[in-house]
Chain A
């Protein structure tokens, strides 16, 4: 149970009922309007429009290949790195179009961080992994400031207790769950406003998953979080807003509790009851 107590504080198990949030009171950080994605001649997304609330967890669910990850990667323009991908429509962060040619994608990604499906620590020390973002962006003015950023990021990611004595060891030597928390710490270290998580627990065992879910719940106090997940239970546990994707369409979106207890759409119902997926 070391891994569990390693966290700074033990909160009550996160589930829908324990975290009632009035989404309507939240401001909207991200607005997407009529977003389409083409890979070559193949259309992967058909006109997605959604609002993403501030300081809450929004989850994208849906069967494999439904476009949820593709949409997630539009939000910090990761699709730019894929040859032949074309994005249409608008996505605005605080009212600013992120696909505006005058906008710098480097700066955008510093504001919108990302955590990936498979833990992908760099082949560097734990310290350097976390310090990577602040270093490239020039966020720390001194060595001491950098130490501070690294330490606090590791604390926020709930990894500090486990790694504080071995910051110089390679990040690739950690366990899968630890690696993923290291990646979260790495993303936090840049102080992004939004954190995108692409199935962050799909490569982890249940215990590691539970720890990450708890972490996500904590992080929502300071960050806007968007998570793509395969698991409906996970969406129900960690998110306040849920969007259901199917075949490149956004089928339904709303408060997580509403989606899971009272879906308006037949397809959504079929999916959450396990008939499609």
Chain B
């Protein structure tokens, strides 16, 4: 036998190795650079995503307010005094009379009041059609004035200062969301209105303020500038409550059973495989389940947070079960044996000793699961939560929408210039909630673990 390597002089072997070294180190450097590049790309995506959302969303948190001085002119507000309670009148009769008066008030042309106050603010003799003038304030300005009057009829004939929102188009114009150089035909606002807005901005009649309406109003189609997230927030809150109330106890109980009590049998194997697969079933399939079972078969109300909550519960369960099982698995056998050795039954061991130790992990997993459910959209669309709802749901059985669905609805709004940043602002609210939830999870975890 010939020994190739040994028969060759040593220096030759070394030379062979050295010959390749440069190339090998080069490829090492390239590989390493690729790895670093991947990290930079991934981090870059995160940065880009957040920067983009912030850039688009932050402007929506300031909104242009119009400071009106409105006069409740008796000539326009041509209505008698509100009915007083007449002796001998029943409660129902009185209520009917007041309602009749309110209807009369509502029938009045409140736009005239708005128009008059705007003309008073404009330079004397400024030529602008009433229709165009009224594109400056948001359409809910007249409702504001009417509500003020209904609440306090003595305002008749008086002049009061009142702040209303500028319209979405005016807001776009002021913020520059719309290209100012576009020809008249492509502008949403007529030229006189645009010029007047600029005057208002320069003389302080229109000023920017924090957009509380985004958080305190419900969605609105007629008055886009006043549309807010309150309804969606409450809807999401109901659903989160349902998820917490149902998914957490059931999930933890199921995990305890599978990890601590289940005999090794076909059935438990089957349940295990089941749960692992459920965790990876696309969320939209849960939506189909909800539509078919909860709505079509059980006739639960459509668009209701109750149904949404149930669907999200089923979706979150596997996550909580898997995480809890992981936590239970991590408990040292020594603790179990110590408890059993003291004469505790298995149930006592689990509930008195094992569960308390795993509490921080379970809590964290739960919060993360709930946060995930909070951001879920697709299944909710299938159970009818896509409907436009302009009220705050009073109970989980009322029609409602959810935060991510509201984002979906807003991104589809025709007034792109206004709703793009409005949507981004809603996303910011959603992300802040999620980050807060995750932050709480991390905080609680470190707190509880330190104590344990």
Interface residues of A (CB under 8 A from B): 104, 106-107, 110-111, 134, 136-140, 145, 148-149, 151-152, 155, 189, 191, 193, 222
Contacts and interface: CB of A to CB of B under 8 A. Distances in A.
5 contacts: A137-B16, A139-B5, A140-B4, A149-B4, A152-B5
A106 to B, nearest CB: 6
A139 B1 contact: no
B1 A110 contact: no
B145 to A, nearest CB: 70
B18 interface: yes
Most chain A Cβ neighbours within 10 Å, of B4, B6, B18, B19? B4
Contacts of B19: 138
A106 B3 contact: no
Contacts of A222: 6
A152 B1 contact: yes
Contacts of B6: 152, 191, 222
B89 interface: no
Nearest to B3: A152
Contacts of A110: 17
Contacts of B20: 137-138
B16 A139 contact: yes
B353 to A, nearest CB: 35
B14 interface: yes
B108 interface: no
* Interface class of chain B by DSSP: helix
Nearest to A153: B5
Given A106-B25, A137-B17, A138-B19, 19 more contacts: A104-B21, A104-B25, A106-B17, A107-B14, A107-B17, A136-B24, A138-B16, A138-B17, A139-B13, A139-B16, A139-B17, A148-B2, A149-B5, A151-B1, A152-B3, A189-B5, A191-B5, A191-B6, A193-B10
Most chain A Cβ neighbours within 10 Å, of B16, B17, B21? B17
Contacts of A149: 4-5
A155 to B, nearest CB: 7
Interface in B9-44: 10, 13-14, 16-21, 24-25
A138 B15 CA distance: 10
Interface string B300-319: 00000000000000000000
B242 to A, nearest CB: 47
Interface of B: 1-6, 10, 13-14, 16-21, 24-25
Nearest to A110: B17
B230 to A, nearest CB: 52
Nearest to A137: B17
Contacts of A106: 17, 21, 24-25
Contacts of A155: 1
Contact of B4 (A136, A145, A193): A145
Contacts of A193: 10
B1 A107 contact: no
A139 B20 CA distance: 10
Nearest to B1: A152
A85 B25 CA distance: 23
Nearest to B8: A191
- Which 8 interchain pairs have the tightest Cβ spacing? A191-B5, A138-B20, A148-B4, A137-B17, A152-B3, A110-B17, A107-B17, A145-B4
Nearest to A188: B5
Nearest to A155: B1
A181 to B, nearest CB: 18
Given A107-B14, A137-B16, A137-B17, A152 B4 contact: yes
A193 B6 CA distance: 11
A111 B3 CA distance: 17
Contacts of B1: 151-152, 155
A139 B4 CA distance: 10
B11 to A, nearest CB: 12
A227 B17 CA distance: 26
Contacts of B4: 140, 145, 148-149, 152
A24 B14 CA distance: 28
B400 to A, nearest CB: 53
A265 B24 CA distance: 48
A156 to B, nearest CB: 9
B5 A107 contact: no
A134 B5 CA distance: 10
A193 B289 CA distance: 69
A239 B2 CA distance: 29
Contacts of A111: 14
A155 B1 CA distance: 10
A138 B14 CA distance: 11
A136 B25 CA distance: 12
Nearest to A107: B17
Nearest to B2: A148
A111 B16 CA distance: 13
B1 to A, nearest CB: 6
Nearest to B21: A104
Contacts of B3: 152
Most chain B Cβ neighbours within 10 Å, of A110, A134, A140? A110
A137 B2 CA distance: 21
Given A149-B5, A152-B4, A222-B6, A107 B13 contact: no
B63 to A, nearest CB: 53
A42 B332 CA distance: 29
B29 to A, nearest CB: 13
Contacts of B5: 134, 139, 149, 152, 189, 191
Nearest to A190: B5
B185 to A, nearest CB: 67
A200 B2 CA distance: 28
A222 B17 CA distance: 20
Nearest to B14: A107
A94 to B, nearest CB: 10
A110 B17 CA distance: 8
A40 B10 CA distance: 38
A15 B198 CA distance: 103
A155 B10 CA distance: 21
A140 B13 CA distance: 10
A222 B1 CA distance: 16
